[in-house]
Amino acid sequence: MTIGIIIGIVVLVAIIGIVLYNGLVRSRNQVDNAWSQVDVQLKRRLDLIPNLVETVKGYATHEQKTFDAVIQARSAAMSAAPTPGSQATADNMVSGALRQLFALSEAYPDLKANQNFLALQEELSATEGRVAYARQFYNDSVLGYHNKLDTFPTLIVAKFGSFSRREFFEAEDGARVAPQVKF
């Protein structure tokens, strides 16, 4: 009888361990999937930038410094390491450069009325919304994963299963500062 109880306890502990391990794997996979979605949306935004720059160049040919900043930020973002920290830094550079580019449109009424520019601006705006959503979903996934890593009894399984923490996608301190545009 006592052997049966011991076997039952061992089987119960094994089942609980398997369930907890599988939960950690699912959470880790969700974080990886969420990061892939962020990456897709960031690449989508980077793909729109050359068309936007070319459209604006037709109206504001003497604003080369702004164009160079946008192109340089895009190049840096395309070559950034595929980690949340590196991508966040590159993303902040791109956002700042795009704000300067869109600020230029205020000085050129013909550009503001251009259908290509308006379509690109709308597409970029929609993409920015997708990027924001993907970032939020990624950070929520990382939070859920970290909660599992840090709470009992999952933390025991996490230590034996070599599950590691993931980096949040965070904006830099200067990312919320409006750009200075001078004409």
Show pLDDT as tens, one digit a residue, over the chain (183 residues): 799 999 999 999 999 999 999 999 999 999 999 999 999 999 999 999 998 888 888 877 778 888 889 999 999 999 999 999 999 999 999 999 998 888 887 888 888 788 888 888 899 989 999 999 999 999 999 999 999 999 999 999 999 988 999 999 987 655 444 444 443
Burial call 96-110: b when 16+ CB within 10 Å, e when fewer = bbbebbbbbbeebee
Question: pLDDT at position 63, please?
Answer: 80
Question: pLDDT at position 173, please?
Answer: 56
The answer to whether the CB of 24 falls within 8 A of the CB of 157 is: yes
Question: pLDDT at position 54, please?
Answer: 87
pTM of the full predicted structure? 0.80
Question: pLDDT at position 108, please?
Answer: 82
CA dist 162 and 48 (Å) reads: 40
Instruction: Please return the burial class of 9, using the count of CB atoms within 10 Å of its CB with bins 0-12, 13-18 and 19+.
Output: exposed
**Phi/psi at 36 (nearest 5 deg)?**
-60, -40
Question: pLDDT at position 181, please?
Answer: 40
CA dist 72 and 109 (Å) reads: 26
Residue 102 tokens read as 């869109």
Question: pLDDT at position 78, please?
Answer: 93
Q: Which fold has domain 2-169?
A: de novo design (two linked rop proteins) (1.20.1440)
Domain boundaries, the chain: 2-169
Question: pLDDT at position 183, please?
Answer: 37
